[in-house]
Structure 1
């Protein structure tokens, strides 16, 4: 896979660059694929539902409103995502089970971690346009991520 730095050098402003200090948590440092989205706040029921479906190499972008108060992704859901052929998950929020996440063959980027569980009310929206970190994430557009950051097609 071409690095995000090389992609940006080649395509410039045709790509959006996520301006957030995301950390890498998954076993795959680089990942790419078409975007799917979930917008949820401190609740992972919809996220779990989507990641239980075949991913076909897609990347799930989770807009948890930047909350670090509750984790929306943990080891069991990440393992399920990897088994269902998801390429990665980008979380605008928190994850948990960090030591185990490193062993899962899945790209995972998030703002931080918190051992506190999410709620399970299934409130939120799936496959809607979400915006955070100066980037608009549209379902179907391509996302590329590595140790340098996240790029998204305009």
Structure 2
């Protein structure tokens, strides 16, 4: 886990971190709106371990969990399959045992009540009771497409109730610096707004002076 990931994770408690990260990525970087948390309040920051599934085969998901280090997020590209789940309570417990911090699925999840009770952040585009089947096919740690965004192994993902944002590996340091600057600018803008002063348009908070 990188220093940038640690630093971003420390900012999660301030809320709406994905919005700041998206702004730092020139108001981009977010997965499609269909990628939503399966329980309210879920949030994470972690480095991607990617999975490309084959049909309804979820074997590669278990392979990815075993390959992932602590602090990782499993990111699953199911090619739009939503009639079979690629994540559930068993994968959640296996991921938690290895110190993973989240899962993002362009596809379906199940066991959402159990996942919520366990408090493990899972974001998906669908929910179904049907489980995927093992078949020994699929790929781990290859570029994938999830929620309309390309995700590569090692990219940093940030998730909260607004959605999921992807920070490319080569832009992590730049984004962290911009997020910190935006947080200070917003603090000043909000103070001015609370005093009844005119607030600048969102995204122009840096123009507010002390």
> TM-score, normalised on structure 2?
0.67
The 1:82–1:28 alpha-carbon spacing in structure 2 relative to 1, beyond 3 Å, is: farther
Moved more, 18-27 or 128-137: 18-27
Two-structure CA RMSD over aligned residues (Å): 1.9
Aligned to 1:64: 78
The secondary structure found in structure 1 opposite 2:25 is helix
Give the unaligned 5+ runs of structure 2: 1-10, 169-210
Q: How many aligned residue pairs are there?
A: 153
Could you tell me which runs of 5 or more consecutive residues in structure 1 were left unpaired when the two chains were aligned. Answer: none
1:24 aligns with 2:37: yes
| 8 Å CA contact 2:34, 2:147 repeated in 1 | no
Deviations 1:39-84 (A, max 9, x none): 0032111101221345310111000112111111111111110121
What is the CA deviation profile of residues 83-125 of structure 1, one whole-angstrom value per residue up to 9, with x for unaligned ones? 2110100011111111111112321001111111211102111
More contact order relative to length (CA 8 Å, sep ≥ 6): 1
Q: TM-score w.r.t. structure 1 length?
A: 0.90
Residue 98 in structure 1 maps to residue 125 in structure 2:
no
Structure 1 residues 27 and 81, CA, compared in 2 at 3 Å: closer, same or farther?
A: farther
Corresponding residue SS for 1:32? strand
SS at match of 1:13: coil
Partner of 2:140: 126
C-alpha separation in 2, matches of 1:53 and 1:138? 15
The structure where helix makes up a greater share of residues is 2
Aligned pair in 2 of structure 1 residues 136, 54: CA closer, same or farther (>3 Å)? closer
Q: Which has the larger Rg?
A: 2
